[in-house]
Structure 1
Amino acid sequence: MPNEKGGAIKLDFTKYSKPADGKLYKVGDTESIVVAHGLFGSKTNWRSIARRMAEQFGVDVYTVDLRNHGDSGHADSMTYMDHARDLENFLNDQDLTQNVALIGHSMGGKAVQTLALDLADLPSSNNPITSLISVDMTPARGALSPEFANYLQAMIDIDAARCTSNKEADEMLQKWESDPGIRAFLLTNLTQNPVERNIKSFRIPVRKMQDLLPSLGDFPFDPPGTDKSGKGQVDGQQRSSRSWDGHTLFIKGERSKYINRHNIPICDAFFPNAQHASLDTGHWVQAEKPLEFAELVKNFLLRKPLQGIE
């Protein structure tokens, strides 16, 4: 993958087209959905549910690979403002200029929140985003769980071992992660080495990402009313206070710690029209309950009442 120093990265994507006959229902005013995956994920993680949403919702669904992930380019920076600029560039390239719903899981959730806030000052007639769905992720700041650094170290070890099969890599990964489902997810990043075809290597820049991980615990904006004394800077500029009053949904995995009573008020400060709902899952909400997830998204886009977090 190309190594880019600065500027927006052109994101690789898959488009799932709406049915040609327009059958079933149209989800309100939504014309297209753009989906951003989480850390160590890719657009392929959303393949089944994206196809389902396109067919059942009657809209085009785009799944993207964020920078340093999947088939998109590599870069030396991976802040949420970087992700937001990449996503805005993608919307422009695809001529998605109105009635776009953004869905983001985990890291992708913070990425789409950042884009919505960054474009919040645009008049509604010029703002492409009308709906925002963040899956098990809030705009709160905090250090990443140590497990993510452990996963990266495991990938670096696997790269150094020059494994020749996924089975061999999985055996090494068991030292770091006992859950076979999580190991399988991480190993979706393992591919044939482009030079030595008999060797497996990771498509994500694992060594570079060790230095980039800390930025993923940050968030580039402050909620309205924040005391700015002692606040840091983002991309060389003082953090600004932002809010977005668009149609917003936070979906919590009930067995996940990422959305909780401590950070829900932060969600509501940034997104005053936010709704909250939950499903009986861990962190990978859409993978664990795909049918229920799609139904929840549909009802939200149709502006139907939702069952909130208990």
Structure 2
Amino acid sequence: MFSGVSSVKLAYDEYIPPNGNKTERPLVILHGFFGSKRNWQSLSKAFMKDLGRPIYTLDLRNHGSSPHVRPMTYTHMAADVLDLCQRLSLTNISLLGHSMGGKVAMSFALNPETPPDLLKDLIVSDIAPVRAKVSADTVLHIEGMEKVEASNITSRKQANEILEEYEKDPSVRAFLLTNLNTDTKASPLKFKVPIDILKEGRPEIESFPYAPGERAWDGHTLFVKGSKSKFINWHNKPVIKQFFPETTVSELDAGHWIHAEM
């Protein structure tokens, strides 16, 4: 537990290899904004088979099946991850985070109270350790989801039609609609995620808890950039190296959702 920071118990899925190992050298995966552990189901099964290691996918606070709670800071989200690792007695973890989850993973690595022997490898997917505005698309997505909830809709089809005004890409709309709570008979339909908390927390999501030169993590780190994405630009490379001196940066032919496109 980080001093003065309250954590919550995160929902998670586990994928355990045939040898029954649940704790040694696991890969822990953190999703991005509006994502959930469900986004990583297929890849997690493949990772477990290929690596022969346990895989844990987490729902970060205010996402998926995890608790709805303020505040939405990276230090609090990193504390949630530490709590889960300690509750499950995980050791020598590899931590993979995409987008917002990547910033959580970096915050976890850089926090001076993270046990030094807990984190073995860090993988950051298409995000940089910088303070920068979220994309205009994200702002539109929040507006669209607010419109859905205000429209008293009763079907996924209606929600999709409303979101089409805010997002033209059907695959992105499908991603956003994974958050729609269709498992209940309650009407009208609402999202599982607390739109108000996520909207309120947007300035924190745009931020980063450390300034260059303030902290560094010397462990093995891999940054993966989507060549069609602007979330990492090559001007960020010196900043990345300041925080993570042992960094390799790889570029893949993909957009921001690298794990869904490759």
Equivalent position to 1:116, from 97, 104, 109:
109
Which amino acid in the other structure matches residue 239 of structure 2?
A: I
TM-score of the two chains, using structure 1 as the length reference: 0.79
Report the CA distance shift for 1:49/1:212 in structure 2 as closer, same or farther (over 3 A): same
Aligned pairs for 1:242-253 within 5 A: 242-253=215-226
Equivalent position to 2:248, from 275, 282, 285:
275
Task: Output the CA distance in 2 between the equivalents of 1:286 and 1:153.
Answer: 26
Unmatched runs of 5 consecutive residues or more in structure 1? 1-5, 23-29, 225-240, 290-310
1:100 maps to what in 2? 93
2:42 maps to what in 1? 48
CA shift, 1:211, in A, is: 1.1
Q: What secondary structure does 1:262 align onto?
A: helix
1:204 maps to what in 2? 193
CA shift, 1:21, in A, is: 8.2
CA shift, 1:121, in A, is: 7.3
1:256 maps to what in 2? 229
Q: What secondary structure does 1:116 align onto?
A: helix
1:58 maps to what in 2? 52
Are the counterparts in 2 of residues 102 and 129 from structure 1 also a CA contact under 8 Å?
A: yes
Which amino acid in the other structure matches residue 141 of structure 1?
A: R
Which amino acid in the other structure matches residue 273 of structure 1?
A: E
Q: What secondary structure does 1:191 align onto?
A: coil
Which amino acid in the other structure matches residue 191 of structure 2?
A: F
Task: Output the CA distance in 2 between the equivalents of 1:274 and 1:104.
Answer: 15
CA shift, 1:158, in A, is: 0.4
How many equivalent pairs are there? Answer: 256
Which amino acid in the other structure matches residue 28 of structure 2?
A: V
2:171 maps to what in 1? 181
Which segment is superposed worse, 168-177 or 198-207?
Answer: 198-207
Which amino acid in the other structure matches residue 215 of structure 1?
A: E
2:144 maps to what in 1? 154
Which amino acid in the other structure matches residue 106 of structure 1?
A: S
Are the counterparts in 1 of residues 108 and 114 from structure 2 also a CA contact under 8 Å?
A: no
Equivalent position to 2:204, from 192, 207, 215:
215
**Structure (1/2) with the larger strand percentage:** 1
**What CA deviation, in whole Å up to 9, does each residue of 1:55-108 have, x standing for no partner?**
110000000000000000011211111111111111111111x21000000000
Aligned pairs for 1:135-174 within 5 A: 135-174=125-164
TM-score of the two chains, using structure 2 as the length reference: 0.93
Q: What secondary structure does 2:120 align onto?
A: strand
Q: What secondary structure does 1:189 align onto?
A: coil
Task: Output the CA distance in 1 between the equivalents of 2:237 and 2:123.
Answer: 14
Are the counterparts in 1 of residues 122 and 222 from structure 2 also a CA contact under 8 Å?
A: yes
**What CA deviation, in whole Å up to 9, does each residue of 1:199-224 have, x standing for no partner?**
31100001222111111111111222
Which amino acid in the other structure matches residue 110 of structure 1?
A: K
Are the counterparts in 1 of residues 96 and 122 from structure 2 also a CA contact under 8 Å?
A: yes
Which amino acid in the other structure matches residue 203 of structure 1?
A: K
Task: Output the CA distance in 1 between the equivalents of 2:7 and 2:101.
Answer: 16
Report the CA distance shift for 1:214/1:50 in structure 2 as closer, same or farther (over 3 A): same
Task: Output the CA distance in 2 between the equivalents of 1:8 and 1:64.
Answer: 14
The answer to whether 1:69 aligns with 2:59 is no
Q: What secondary structure does 1:87 align onto?
A: helix
Task: Output the CA distance in 2 between the equivalents of 1:168 and 1:62.
Answer: 34
Unmatched runs of 5 consecutive residues or more in structure 2? none
Q: What secondary structure does 1:202 align onto?
A: coil
The answer to whether 1:38 aligns with 2:28 is no
